[in-house]
């Protein structure tokens, strides 16, 4: 049974909004208390003490004037507190807009300057091996959209990524088990490819691991690998889930290692081509996959079905959107 995670959507969007409103209210209350304190501190200064005392003596307790005096004072202090909290939020918002523009132009927050750094040959070798590792897993699809693109950058920029593989966006509300299995392998492919080819690793797989963890959690919660506690409560359940995640990671890592070893000459050729050209476009990638002899180990997922020859046509336009925007890896 397919289920749209409505509660997760609410938790991810509405709850943070409510939290912000509560925090802003608390901040406004604290600032209003500060104004209230400063007001009485000023009124009871030696130069104002007699005047303040005479004004308070005139006001009789439990009268309309008494309640109006302090109600107006409380309202004024809270209004000033609210104003300062909102002004601070507006200031942050405006600063974030200009800071982002400066960041994109080579500057960072705080006035520092980010000077684009040219990547060394070893940098390009590691990034090229990483992106080619991601890309080789796409061969299991049997077809690719013309908008497919992979790039190894020659210098740093404001995006924080040194290379990327473009992707397509699912139109489907649900997603298949085979596609998620392939997606997880594609995320791990960059790091494992580096390991096989370079006998070393860069530190560029953080976002890949984060995405893999999210996919793995959803995958395991569907019990494809046995019991996985959806909402663990005890130490035993947390440890059991951790073992399941580790087992899945080990299983997929071993599958990728077998895949790269079977296709090591092809992987080396793809990495060299990417390093030489820096950018590979859809038609070049499709042509490479059509000409290369790629072998898949047993149990490798084929989300679009098994195929005899890599197609030069994209048959998944009803299920997946082609995109020209890059997805950083």
Q: Give the domain CATH number at 285.
A: 1.20.58.760
The dihedral formed by the CA atoms of 84, 88, 94 and 96, expressed in degrees to the nearest 10: 180
Residue in the structure block whose two tokens are 């180990």: 297
Query: What's the pLDDT tens digit per position in 173-199?
Result: 888 899 999 999 999 999 999 999 989
- Domain with 80 in it: 6-104
Mean pLDDT of 258-271: 95
CA distance 55 to 273: 86
The answer to whether residue 4 scores a pLDDT higher than 50 is no
- Judge if 200 and 320 occupy the same domain: yes
Helices (H) and strands (E) in the chain, counts: 9, 4
Q: What domain count does the chain have?
A: 2
- Judge if 247 and 178 occupy the same domain: yes
Tell me whether residue 179 is in a domain.
yes
The answer to whether residue 295 scores a pLDDT higher than 90 is yes
Query: What's the pLDDT tens digit per position in 69-104?
Result: 777 777 888 888 788 888 887 887 777 665 544 434
Beta bridge partners of 264: none
Tell me whether residue 20 is in a domain.
yes
Contacts of 292 (CB under 8 A, 6+ apart): 139, 263, 266, 269, 270
- Judge if 135 and 268 occupy the same domain: yes
- Full-model pTM: 0.64
Last residue of a domain, one of 50, 70, 104: 104
CA distance 66 to 72: 10
- Judge if 220 and 246 occupy the same domain: yes
- Judge if 144 and 266 occupy the same domain: yes
Better-scored residue on pLDDT, 82 or 1: 82
pLDDT of amino acid 157: 75
């Amino acid at each position: 049974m397919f289920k749209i995670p409505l509660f997760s959507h609410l938790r991810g969007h509405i709850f943070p909004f409510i939290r912000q409103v509560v925090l802003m209210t608390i901040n406004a209350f604290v600032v209003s208390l500060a104004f209230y304190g400063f007001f009485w501190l000023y009124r009871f200064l030696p130069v104002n003490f007699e005047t303040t005392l005479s004004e308070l003596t005139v006001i009789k307790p439990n009268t309309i004037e008494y309640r109006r005096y302090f109600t107006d004072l409380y309202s004024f202090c809270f209004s000033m507190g609210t104003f300062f909290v909102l002004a601070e939020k507006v200031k942050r918002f405006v600063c974030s807009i200009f800071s982002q523009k400066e960041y994109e132009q080579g500057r960072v927050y705080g006035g520092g300057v980010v000077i684009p750094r040219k990547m060394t040959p070893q940098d390009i070798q590691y990034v090229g091996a990483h992106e080619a590792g991601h890309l080789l897993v796409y061969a299991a699809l049997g077809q690719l959209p013309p908008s497919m693109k992979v790039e190894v950058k020659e210098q740093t920029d404001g995006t924080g990524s040194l290379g990327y593989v473009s992707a397509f966006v699912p139109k489907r509300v649900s997603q298949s088990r085979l596609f998620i299995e392939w997606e997880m392998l594609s995320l791990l492919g960059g790091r494992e490819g580096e390991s096989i080819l370079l006998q070393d690793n860069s530190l560029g797989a953080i976002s890949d691991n984060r995405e893999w963890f999210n996919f793995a959690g959803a995958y395991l919660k569907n019990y494809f690998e046995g019991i996985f506690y959806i909402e663990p409560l005890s130490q035993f359940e947390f440890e059991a889930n951790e073992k399941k995640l580790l087992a899945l990671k080990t299983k997929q890592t071993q599958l990728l290692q077998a895949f790269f070893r079977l296709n090591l000459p092809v992987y080396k050729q793809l990495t060299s081509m990417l390093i030489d050209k820096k950018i590979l476009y859809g038609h070049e990638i499709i042509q490479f996959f059509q000409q290369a002899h790629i072998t898949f180990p047993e149990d490798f997922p084929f989300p679009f079905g098994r195929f005899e020859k890599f197609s030069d046509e994209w048959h998944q336009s009803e299920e997946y959107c082609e995109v020209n925007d890059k997805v950083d890896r």
